[in-house]
Structure 1
Amino acid sequence: MGEITIKHLAETLNVSTATISKALRDSHEISNSTKARVFELAKSLNYRPNPFASGLRRQKSNTIAVILPEIADNFFGQAINGIEEAARQKGYHLLIYLSHDSSEREAFFINDVLGRCVDGLLISISFDGANFSHLDEIQQKLPTVFFDRTYEGSLLHVTNNDYDSAFEATKHLLDGGCRNVAYLAALQTLDNGNQRFKGYLGALQQFGVPFRQELVVDCTNNRDDNYAKLFHLVKNVKPDGIVSSIEKLAKICYHICNDLGVDIPGDIKIISFSNLDCAALLNPSLTTITQQAFEMGKEAATMLFKVLKNSNYEAESKVVKAQLFKRMSTR
């Protein structure tokens, strides 16, 4: 059939080339059902964007790509603001992609980035896969900085002090008298997820509290599955404290405790990694490990600009420390 182009995709699906182009860029103008059809066809035909389409050549464009798992999460919204500020100061524009925590979509977007005239990439990776070959590839072809979510092969990255933060969160519950502390695990395939779990284990060990596997809940990106698992945890396992590795799981726990008539913090104390703006307004207010998302985004962009200025820039990592905000959910 020869080289597959956007025109081929459009003719096969009986839509315009503009629709295909927008769908591949995950534009809000295109319905999710149409996007799904386009992605499925593009994958089946092994479509690859043409880097020379529209007369583009690999040259300085003053544009950087950003791939995020989501923007509904308060952390990533704040991180984008930090990236944008650093980019604006350097006269750069942003091209933003949302993977929706899909490693398949993330790999497709990385392929798309390689076909565009962008100078570099900032990425916080999805947690639903364990194959990172597309991430290894992009680092060999384009200046790339990872932030928040990283993997073992990331050469340049800006992260949170995940071990210390999870250790402090667990210690806070243990100091408050909890001895059956549950851990809600997410990001298990990523470095920061592993570090948070190790911090939880480290605090238990320091306090001489035995580890219980039934208190660890491996969560996914499926809300219904997570609700069922956490409902079982709260109703049947009955922890007296919960450390949530991401904020969406803590919010589910609030719903479950309300449904079961479980008192927070009387029956169970809850602490979560969270940048939720309204954490202080929840009933009860949520104790959080709050990451400096704006600063992390700004640091990641600044690191990328250093790489773009100096092609011999060596691998580097930076840690932006999170803060513990004690509120009523752990009193």
Structure 2
Amino acid sequence: MQNKKKIDIIELAKILNLSKSTISRAFRNSSDINKHTRQRILDKAQELNYHPNIYASSLRKRKSKTIAIIIPELANNFFSKAVNGIENIARSNNFHSLIYFTDSQVKKEIEITKNLLNGRVEGVIISATGEGTEPLHIKSLQRNTPVVFFDRVYDEIIAPKVVTDDYESSFKATELLLKNGCKRTAFFVINKNISIGKQRMKGYLDALKANGCKHNDKLILNCCNHFQENYKMISKFLKKEKPDGIFASVERLATCTYSVCKDKNISIPADIKLICYSSIDIADLLAPSLSTVTQPAYDMGAKAAELLFKQINEQQISDEKVTLTSRIDERASSQ
């Protein structure tokens, strides 16, 4: 049975009856070490769950100058703007950024954080994948690396977090549809178990209640990250449930709804009114122009970076939470 207890280089050297310098050369892939010895070291390190911090000396001297940014995707306008905010702050601190994509898969998030355990970066900014898993991989990373969350967070992790007023904005977005005459307002969500999914759905439900509308589970559509699958689900949903209003919790569900409505000759906003979370720059150029809950994506990224460098410089974990305000931009799609 493999021993999963975390060990250091001194213990590994004793177990293998080798010097620390030999262990270090093996992980640096130095040419002056026998390949069989190197493989023996690597195999034993894997067996004992040893992760070498090959950048430790440079980190102590502040020479790594690199942070990691972990996000679900970059194609989303929100994340591209947030990364821009992060990188501007990083550059002002003479740091470089490594960007990693999880494709909204927690398995990839775990793999990425494991690869960062060797200390190649001085800090990590992450928008979490979630999926209801216990974030032990983040806790492991935090032992040696400062971590800051933005937008999508693990509530149980003690770390700085930068979020927006998801509940309040979702309440206002839903209420906008109701005040514009919608009687069957639907909610489209990709993952209602992650932090933003929970808050946005709660805002939707509470707005219905506050305006005297009964909650109907059939009007909540759980979607996915794939366009073709969402297209099929939304097409079937519109035909069966016949909503007259839709609040989409993420941008891709709104754009997919546009495609379905165009193909099915459903008029927006005459037949269905629509509003969504989106940072798309051409929202006002769509036909019809798209009503949005617009998050301050750039500012969120910049603030997350500021909190990360504060941790790096002060060398202590913070639990500071910053909540920024989103903006409701009402356009033709919800009128």
TM-score in terms of structure 2 length? 0.82
Select the residue among 108, 122, 131 that pairs with 1:105. Answer: 108
Q: Deviations over 1:263-314 (max 9, x none)?
A: 0000000000000111111110100001000000000000111111213453
Q: Deviations over 1:32-77 (max 9, x none)?
A: xxxxxxxxxxxxx889895355896653322111111111000010
> Contact 1:67/1:96 (CA < 8 Å) preserved in 2?
yes
Q: How many residues matched?
A: 294
Percentage of identical aligned residues: 37
Aligned to 1:251: 255
Q: Secondary structure at the match of 1:299?
A: helix
Q: Secondary structure at the match of 2:271?
A: coil
1:299, 1:319 → 2: CA distance?
10
The change in CA–CA distance for 1:142 and 1:169 in structure 2 (over 3 A counts) is same
Cα offset for 1:187?
Answer: 3.3
Q: Secondary structure at the match of 1:266?
A: coil
2:70, 2:252 → 1: CA distance?
20
Runs of 4+ displaced beyond 6 Å: 2-7, 45-49
The change in CA–CA distance for 1:198 and 1:56 in structure 2 (over 3 A counts) is same
The runs of 5 or more residues in structure 2 that have no matched partner are 1-15, 17-22, 30-45
The change in CA–CA distance for 1:202 and 1:253 in structure 2 (over 3 A counts) is same
Say whether 1:122 aligns with 2:125. Answer: yes
2:265, 2:47 → 1: CA distance?
52
Cα offset for 1:236?
Answer: 1.3
Aligned to 2:155: 152
Cα offset for 1:78?
Answer: 0.3
The runs of 5 or more residues in structure 1 that have no matched partner are 8-44
2:101 maps to amino acid: L
Alpha carbon RMSD of aligned pairs, Å? 2.5
Cα offset for 1:153?
Answer: 1.6
1:157, 1:173 → 2: CA distance?
30
Aligned to 1:51: 52
Q: Which structure 2 residues correspond to residues 1-331 of structure 1 after superposition, within 5 A?
A: 51-53=52-54, 58-59=59-60, 60=62, 61-128=64-131, 130-155=133-158, 156-312=160-316, 314-331=318-335
Q: Secondary structure at the match of 1:114?
A: coil
Cα offset for 1:154?
Answer: 3.1
1:64, 1:92 → 2: CA distance?
7
The change in CA–CA distance for 1:235 and 1:127 in structure 2 (over 3 A counts) is farther
Q: Secondary structure at the match of 1:221?
A: coil
Cα offset for 1:127?
Answer: 4.5
The change in CA–CA distance for 1:50 and 1:137 in structure 2 (over 3 A counts) is closer
